[in-house]
Structure 1
Amino acid sequence: MTQTRIIIIAKEPRPGHVKTRLIPALGEAGAAQLADQMLQYTLRQALEAGLGPVELCVSPEPRAAYWQQLAGADQAKVSSQTEGDLGQRMATAARAALHQGLPVMLIGTDCPDLSAGRLRQMADQLQHHDACLCPVLDGGYALLGLRRFHPSLFNDIPWSTAEVARITRQRLAALGWRFAESETLNDIDEPEDLLKLMSTRPNFIQPPTEN
């Protein structure tokens, strides 16, 4: 299989700054701890997939102690997200990676369904398509794979809405690109998503640790 670069778009799990929609259910500390667990899980799966280079594209500060202490981070490149909205940050990361000559898969940290096996499956699809997509139940996507770059996939998209995957499909089709798509996956953004997570991975949510 041709090597594929995996770029994890990640945010340091600081209480009150991550998973804010889950704070009413988990509290600031609990939401941040879940974000930390999901980030660690995502990195483990990306490394276990064994597809090629893994990059953590992070905010707000790649030199923060968190990234230096994160298990597995020494096996990945840690880079800084650029300024701008999510689309601008993803576009910059994707363009830079593609310039290095490898297909790229951009992933977030909100989708426990993105196992190492799933990542390998999508990388295989990407060998035969211009792009690949893993949609999620809320209308967004958990993975966008690319063999080529076009800014329309990132510009003027209403991020964090139910329209993201639909618009992305439309733009891929307008470009005339062949793309593969997985079945719709689960991601964890809203309190009701926690019920699905607890039913499928009951040990994933841990009580908040005391400082």
Structure 2
Amino acid sequence: MTEAKLIVFVKQPEIGKVKTRLAKDIGEEKALQIYKKLLKKTAELIEESHWPTFVYYKDQIGKNDHFSIPWVIKKTQSEGDLGKKMHDAFVEVKEETEADKIIIIGSDCYDLSLEHLEIAAQKLDNNDVVIGPSNDGGYYLLGLKSIYKKLFSGIKWSTPEVLDKTIEKCNSLGLKIDFIEQLIDIDTLDDLNSINHSSL
């Protein structure tokens, strides 16, 4: 299997700036602590995978944080909406590495495992696009072999239409899509209560 490259989107763990929907129900301090645990879990996944990884920070790059892993390259996200940020990251990694497969994830999905990444990469052998759908109508993982700008534009991000619109765009481009297991992105109190992990 061709070695895939991994892109991870994260935010700096600053109070009042992360998990804002969750914070409305449990308070900003508790929401921040949960986000820090999610970041730690994501870093553990990177260490376990040993995949070439590019961590893109929303604002300033973190120093001496969970992602200070020898093979991780740290970058900052571009300006624009989430779609443009993801597109630009895909293009940058593709240009720098000439990767045959690139997979992007966030840091909101506690149950995301190395097995999910490996299955997604394997599915890219016979598909143009692989998607890991999330419970909120979006996706927690997107895998591509080639970059299609249309997949990242004309979508209202962070809404329940993201997955359906993405599939619609894939179909309009004639792309072959496959999916991996649906998981929960932790954005609300209901999401948090659905995750059976005492560590959160």
TM range (shorter): over 0.9
Matched residue SS, 1:201: coil
| 2:78 counterpart letter in structure 1 | T
Q: How does 1:1-211 map to 2 (within 5 A)?
A: 1-50=1-50, 52-62=51-61, 67-75=62-70, 76-99=72-95, 100-102=97-99, 103-197=101-195, 200-203=196-199, 205=200
Cα shift at 1:46: 2.6
Counterparts of 2:11 and 2:170, CA distance in 1: 27
Cα shift at 1:120: 1.0
Q: Structure 1: give runs of 5+ residues left out of the alignment.
A: 206-211
Counterparts of 2:110 and 2:124, CA distance in 1: 21
Cα shift at 1:126: 1.4
Q: For the Cα contact (< 8 Å) 1:47–1:54, is it kept in 2?
A: no
The one-character-per-residue Cα deviations of 1:84-123 (angstroms, maximum 9, x if unpaired) are: 1101100000111122211110101111121111111111
**Which 10-residue stretch deviates more, 142-151 or 125-134?**
125-134
Counterparts of 1:82 and 1:11, CA distance in 2: 13
Matched residue SS, 2:27: helix
**Which 10-residue stretch deviates more, 86-95 or 67-76?**
67-76
Counterparts of 1:176 and 1:153, CA distance in 2: 12
Cα shift at 1:131: 1.2
Counterparts of 1:132 and 1:193, CA distance in 2: 23
Counterparts of 1:3 and 1:127, CA distance in 2: 11
The one-character-per-residue Cα deviations of 1:3-22 (angstroms, maximum 9, x if unpaired) are: 11110011111000010001
In the alignment of these two chains, the number of paired residues is 197
After superposition, the Cα gap between the structure-2 partners of 1:127 and 1:46, relative to the gap in structure 1 and judged at 3 Å, is farther
Counterparts of 1:181 and 1:146, CA distance in 2: 12
Q: How large is the Cα RMSD of the aligned pairs?
A: 1.2
- The equivalent of 1:209 in structure 2 is none
TM-score (norm 2): 0.94
| 1:60 counterpart letter in structure 2 | D
| 2:163 counterpart letter in structure 1 | A
Q: For the Cα contact (< 8 Å) 2:116–2:180, is it kept in 1?
A: no
**Which 10-residue stretch deviates more, 119-128 or 84-93?**
119-128
Matched residue SS, 1:143: strand
